[in-house]
Amino acid sequence: MKNNVIFFLGLASALAISWAGIVLGSNAQLGSLAPFYDDSEGAAFPARMAGAAAQGQLVYRDMGCASCHTQQVRRPGFGVDKERGWGDRQSVARDYIYQPAPQLGLSRVGPDLANLADRKPSALDASDLLHLLYAGAPGMPTYRFLFETRTLGVGAQPSEKALKLVGALEPKAGTEVVPTPEAESLVAYLLSLKNPYTYPEAVPFTPPAGEGEKEGAK
Amino acid sequence: MTMKSEYSPTDAASRWPLMLLIISGASWLVLAGVFALISSIQLHTPSFMALCPVFTYGRGVAIAETAFVYGWLANAGLALALWVLMRLSGEPLRAQNWALGGWTFWNLGVLGAIIGLGLGDLTGFELLELPGYIQLILFFSYAAIAIPGLLAWSGRLRRVSFASHWYAAAALFLFPWLLSIVHVMLFSAPVRGVLQPIVAGWYAQSVWTLVLAPLALSIAYFVVPKVTGKVLPSYEFASLGFWCLILVGGLTGGRHLVGGPVPAWIASVAVVSCALLFFHTFVVLLNLRGAFTAPGVAVKFIAFGVAAYVLGAVFDTVTSFHVVAVQTQFTYFDEAQKQLALYGAATTILFGGIYFAVPRITGKAWLSPLLVRGHLMLSLLGIMLLVISLCAAGATQSHDLLDAKVPFATITAHTRDSLVGVTAAELILLLGNICFLANFYGTACEILKISSPATFSPSSAMETPAS
């Protein structure tokens, strides 16, 4: 390699090729993805995120929750995501179009959260989630800095938001534990995590009956 | 020994930017080790330091990674790339003020990024945990540090260039472009939805294959022929191996997205590219195989790094296949692969490069041969324990995750023992790196002593085989 110009042009074009291929290619395919309008339901999916939930997504990101939790359900047959109750269908690109900071995640130290608010038979509600954040769980740290311990004035009523803690976690008499605004928006976000609608592209391909029989006979 | 002739006045004239880059890199390495140790304890004991938001697991991991990649690997890699290009140009570094200015702002930028991460400005992107407001500083300061390197490249004595040249110049040239692209697409005008993880995955892979790996390979290609005293075997393939990495490397990023909510072709392209990249890995192994039999601490580090580089490429390819990915995806296997590449390959090669370069830059032998050998032992032991423990944890976790009846509390209990092994490994690595920092600091202080004679004496530590 004796020619400087050709060398650096080569480097620049190699970078340009991989950028154009991967980044521009997927942008051309997905960049203009629109919500899906269902005539029979008279509504478009996915729904826009509520303001509190969008704020909560930023709290989720700032705490680094994605270092232990994914938010992408793999298709039935590829892993056991469905059997674990994480979702009946695979996640598709359309699920994320309204999310300001999608948190797909790379690690499952904890469970997938893509459909956290839609667990069957019963999903966690706000007070369960706040308790989980305050108390932690096996393998999950506590997030007590998202809560505030306040002293109750003489004769004052406890706050409606105060956590109902029992046993070792119970606050001292005359004090109460209330969630900070960050904790509240994080919970609002977690409660917004559900993808109830099945888009056409999320339905797995089923081979025609004839082929299926042949494979079964093998 | 030919050591005496190795010392040249060009080294002395270029020493300041190089020494500053290395010492800041070694300091960030120790800081990264502290945070990695805390995070690894939290994996088996989640309540450890959980009350302080700065040390909460997600932030601790991000800080450790940023200090490691942008603090340690970048600083040390840039120092050695500049040194290689300066050596091959045959004259002292030109435009050293640019390097000094770049060094100042680069490290202020990394410090700012780490403070920002501690306060919660995470981005959520792997290998890009740099708050948006820091990225411009890093862009300009990296470019400033690259200027003396590119001047040394264009002002080289002979028109012919060597493999060390290509890898160093590629890393110096490509990073600012990469960072500027990703800054625009993820921060100033963010793309929508899942395009963000796609862009981030492309960046993470590109920063490894186009910047960090070339920085390490550049010094390996420089040191190995010097130590063995022979022309590199099969050197005629080196340029093909180089262009294979540059062309194909950036396309392998999609393998982590297999089965995810992205177009399936992204993962397919990654599988094919991983297989193509084998050619590059094979060429590197062929060229640098002399390192495995050569004596000396520096080349022992490099030999270990080359072995880890090859093993890492095999790992990447095997885990990119669907049948394997369904098992290993989202488990500690991913972390094992990352550590094998960033620690096992890049870091050990840079250690080897520093052990080779510093006595030549300073004109002094390493202060303590004992600390050099201690660092070698602790590093190799720590890295092997780290990768093996993570793989063991990954195997348990993968088995349990694929059984829908096993709850997460049980998985945590099952992986506990292996994760304690990870903590032990992080502790060993941290001790080794403290030895390294102390030894380097002591050696650097030697050149400040005016009374000491400026003659070069052959370093015993550098050339003694570690027994």
Q: For residue B215, give the CATH number of its domain.
A: 1.20.210.10
Please determine, for residue A215, whether its predicted confidence score (pLDDT) is greater than 50: no
Q: What is the pLDDT of residues A99-126, one digit of tens each?
A: 999 999 999 999 999 999 998 888 899 9
ipTM of the complex: 0.91
Helix (H, G, I), strand (E, B) or coil at A175: strand
Average pLDDT of the residues of chain A? 89
Nearest CA distance, A147 vs chain B (angstrom): 11
In the block, tokens 């800080």 appear at B63
pLDDT, tens digit, for every residue of A112-162? 999 999 988 888 999 999 999 999 998 899 999 999 999 988 888 888 899
Q: How many domains does chain B have?
A: 1
Rounded to the nearest 5°, which phi and psi values hold at A149?
Answer: -100, 120
What's the rounded mean pLDDT across residues A179-193?
Answer: 96
Structural domain boundaries enclosing A69? 35-195
Regarding predicted confidence, which is higher, A134 or A196? A134
Mutation target for A interface from B408, B410, B412, B414: give the one with most A CBs within 10 A: B408
3-state secondary structure chain B: CCHHHHCCHHHHHCHHHHHHHHHHHHHHHHHHHHHHHHHHHHHHCCCCCCCCHHHCHHHHHHHHHHHHHHHHHHHHHHHHHHHHHHHHHCCCCCCHHHHHHHHHHHHHHHHHHHHHHHHCCCCCCCCCCCCHHHHHHHHHHHHHHHHHHHHHHHCCCCCCCCHHHHHHHHHHHHHHHHHHHHHHHHHHCCCCCCHHHHHHHHHHHHHHHHHHHHHHHHHHHHHHHHHHCCCCCCHHHHHHHHHHHHHHHHHHHHHHHCCCCCCHHHHHHHHHHHHHHHHHHHHHHHHCHHHHCCCCHHHHHHHHHHHHHHHHHHHHHHHHCHHHHHHHCCCHHHHHHHHHHHHHHHHHHHHHHHHHHHHHHHCCCCCCHHHHHHHHHHHHHHHHHHHHHHHHHHHHHHHHHCCCCCCHHHHHHHHHHHHHHHHHHHHHHHHHHHHHHHHHHHHHHHCCCCCCCCCCCCCHHHHCCCC
Identify the pLDDT of residue A2.
61
What integer pLDDT is reported at residue B237 of this predicted model?
Answer: 96
Q: Write out residues in chain B with pLDDT < 70, as ranges.
A: 1-7, 157, 450-467
In a domain, B227, yes or no: yes
Residue type present at position B332: Y
Per the domain annotation, does B2 fall within a domain?
A: no
Please tell me the distance in Å from B429's CA to the nearest CA on chain A. 22
Residue A173 lies in a domain: yes
Q: Which of A11, A98, A145 sits opposite B174 (nearest CB)?
A: A11
Q: What is the pLDDT of residue B461?
A: 47
What gap in Å lies between CA B104 and CA B114, rounded to an integer?
16
pLDDT of residue B466: 42
Supply the pLDDT for residue A210: 61
Query: How many structural domains compose chain A?
Result: 1
Neighbours of B19 (CB within 10 A): 18
Q: A37: which strand partners?
A: A44
Cβ-Cβ contacts under 8 Å for B305 (sequence gap 6 or more): B216, B220, B344, B345, B346, B347, B348, B349, B352
* Of A149, A195, A101, A113, residue with least CA distance to B193: A101
To the nearest whole angstrom, how far is the Cα of A20 from the nearest Cα of chain B? 10
- Put simply, the answer to whether A141 touches B59 (Cβ < 8 Å) is no
Beta carbons of B46 and A10 less than 8 Å apart: no
Q: Examine residue B129 and state whether it is found in any structural domain, yes or no.
A: yes
Specify if B35 maps to a domain. Answer: yes
**Alpha carbon distances (Å) from B219 to B15, B303, B456:** 17, 12, 22
CATH number at residue A132: 1.10.760.10
Q: Is residue B466 part of a domain?
A: no
Task: Count interface pairs A-B at CB distance under 8 A.
Answer: 209
Tell me whether residue A2 is in a domain: no
Residue appearing with tokens 């030895």 = B435
Q: Residue B129's pLDDT is what?
A: 95
> Taking 50 as the threshold, does the pLDDT of residue A216 lie above it?
no
**Residue A200, in any domain of the structure:** no
In chain B, % of residues over pLDDT 90: 85
* B173 with A67: Cβ contact below 8 A: no
- The whole-angstrom separation of Cα B339 and Cα B373 is 22
Domain extent for B231 = 9-461
Other C-beta atoms closer than 10 Å to the C-beta of A218 total: 4
Whether B176 contacts chain A with CB within 8 A:
no
Q: Does B16 touch chain A (CB under 8 A)?
A: no
Query: Mutation test of the interface with chain B: which of A71, A104, A140, choosing the one with the most B Cβ atoms within 10 A?
Result: A104
Minimum Cα–Cα distance from B400: chain A residue: A80
Which residues on chain B are in Cβ contact (under 8 Å) with A61?
122-124
> What residue in B sits closest to A82 (Cα-Cα)?
B404
Residue B119 in domain: yes
- According to the model, what pLDDT value does residue B467 have? 37
Identify whether A11 is part of a domain: no
Nearest to A67 among B57, B194, B413 (CB): B57
Query: In percent, how much of chain A has pLDDT > 90?
Result: 66
Instruction: Look up tokens 């998202």; give the residue.
Output: A146
Q: Would you state the structure tokens that stand for residue A134, as one six-digit string? A: 């305050």
Q: Could you tell me if residue A176 is inside a domain? A: yes
